[in-house]
Homo-oligomer: A and B are copies of this chain.
Amino acid sequence: MIIQLDKEITPARKETVLRNIADLGYKSMDVHTQFSEYLVCVGKKEFDIRIIGQLPGVADVHRVSDDFKLVSRKWKVRPTEIDLGDEVKIRRGEVALMAGPCSIESERQVEGLADHLLANGVKIMRGGVFKPRSSPYSFRGMGLEGLRMFAEICRSRGIKIITEVMDAAQIDAMYPFVDIFQVGARNAQNFTLLDGLGKVDKPVLIKRGMSGTLEELLQAAEYVFSNGNEKIILCERGIRTYEQAYRNTLDLNAVPILKDKTHLPVVVDPSHGVGIRQYVASMALAAVMAGADGLLLEVHDTPEKAASDGQQTLNFEEAENLYLKVRAAADLLRG
């Protein structure tokens, strides 16, 4: 059960609500977000939910039988809209494009990419400065210095930034420079990180784990929401299967199903998803038709020379062609 409280509920009224919950034998957890205050209640007894609904100070009350609650569409049918400011939004009915390199490498690189994005009307740039790498001997990214440079160039051009955070301890230092915090597939169940991101007021994009179930992805989002942050985006990025013909198996089934289960926007990363450059465009278009609310695309001026893995990265021309087709597909779908 989710109880949404009035914004200005008095302490006495809240006390009464809590007492009623306790009397029912339910446990409740108090959740304050940027937007509202909720009581998430867990218990087993059957009762008439209107008992709670009619209490003064209660704005709304819903039963939610799923294990994930605040992110469930059973409670909130209206889709969540992520507002990044300056008219940049991620929301249902549109396909937000987020493009850029795997790793931030240099000022020259970022400037070139920013120009490319501006010229094509793409308003969000992706780029890693902390890179999770299987091997300790691989390039681990430019770090905070790189992020500062990345942010400076993008802000001066009105471009928003999405970048990966690998550890709760990095959140504060990254905060001033980031528009969307990205949680990578390897951290999809790093609960300390998710708790931490629930305490900041910036959007969080959570990638599905390498073998993460949709239920686990929704639970990861529940961690962020229940810590106080409603600004969450879910991302399908390919799962592990027995098939070795591609690097990951992009699972587009996840898109319609997640959109059915949650009010959060759902985006797709076809670059990591299939992991082979020549197939990225087909999978990106398929993702749009499956209902994706946005795409994360790897783009580089010279993919062959990318500091990190360039096997799945489009060059400018390929990316430009794809942006056009994606928009046409989005138009078609919107009807």
**Of B210, B214, B254, B279, which is within 8 A of A253 by CB?**
B279
B29–A289 touching, CB < 8 Å: no
Q: For chain A, residues 194 to 236, give those with C-beta under 8 angstroms from any C-beta of chain B.
A: 195, 209-211, 213-216, 219, 222-223, 226-227
- Closest chain B residue to A223, Cβ basis: B136
A134 touching B42 in the complex, CB below 8 Å, given contacts A211-B210, A241-B242, A242-B242: no
Whether A222 and B136, one on each chain, are in contact in the complex, defined by CB atoms closer than 8 angstroms, is yes
Verify B242–A253 contact, CB threshold 8 A.
Answer: no
- Asked if B260 and A278 make an inter-chain contact with CB atoms under 8 angstroms apart, the answer reads yes
Question: Do residues A251 and B255 form an inter-chain contact, with CB atoms below 8 A?
Answer: no
Q: Contact between B29 and A137 (Cβ–Cβ < 8 Å)?
A: yes
Among listed A7-15, A94-102, A183-191, A310-318, interface-contacting one:
A183-191
Contact pattern, A 163-184, Cβ under 8 Å of B = 1, otherwise 0? 0001111000000000000000
- Is B187 a contact of A42 with CB atoms below 8 Å? no
A147: CB under 8 A from chain B? no
Tell yes or no: A285 within 8 A of B by CB.
yes
Contacting B at CB under 8 A, from A239-259, are 239-246, 249-257
B191 touches A190 (CB 8 A): no
Judged by a CB distance under 8 angstroms, whether A83 is at the interface is: no
Q: Which of A70-129 contact B (CB under 8 A)?
A: none
Given A186-B189, A332-B328: A134 and B210 within 8 A (CB)?
Answer: no
Given A167-B192, A249-B253, A332-B329, check contact A244 B244 (CB 8 Å).
Answer: yes
Nearest residue (CB) in B for A41 is B137
Cβ–Cβ contact A250 & B253, under 8 A: yes
Contact B213 A242 (CB under 8 A): yes
Q: Does A283 contact B (CB under 8 A)?
A: yes
Per-position contact with B for A19-36: 1 when CB-CB < 8 Å, else 0?
000000000010000000
> In the complex this chain forms, how many copies of it are found?
4
B253 and A257 within 8 A (CB): no
A290 at the interface (CB under 8 A from B): yes
> Given contacts A42-B137, A286-B286, A332-B328, is CB(A243)–CB(B256) below 8 Å?
no
A287 within 8 A of B: yes
Q: How far is the CA of A322 from the CA of B291 in the complex (A)?
A: 15
Which residues of the other chain, B, contact A329 by a CB distance below 8 angstroms? 289, 329, 332
- For A42, what are the chain B residues with a Cβ–Cβ distance below 8 Å? 137
Minimum CB distance partner of A29 in chain B: B137
A148 within 8 A of B: no
Q: In the complex, what distance in Å separates the CA atom of A54 from the CA atom of B330?
A: 53
- Cβ of A274 to closest chain B Cβ, rounded Å: 5
User: Contacts A168-B169, A239-B241, A283-B290 given: A189-B132 contact, CB under 8 Å?
Assistant: yes
8 chain-A/chain-B pairs, Cβ below 8 angstroms: A134-B189, A167-B192, A186-B190, A211-B240, A213-B245, A239-B241, A252-B286, A328-B332
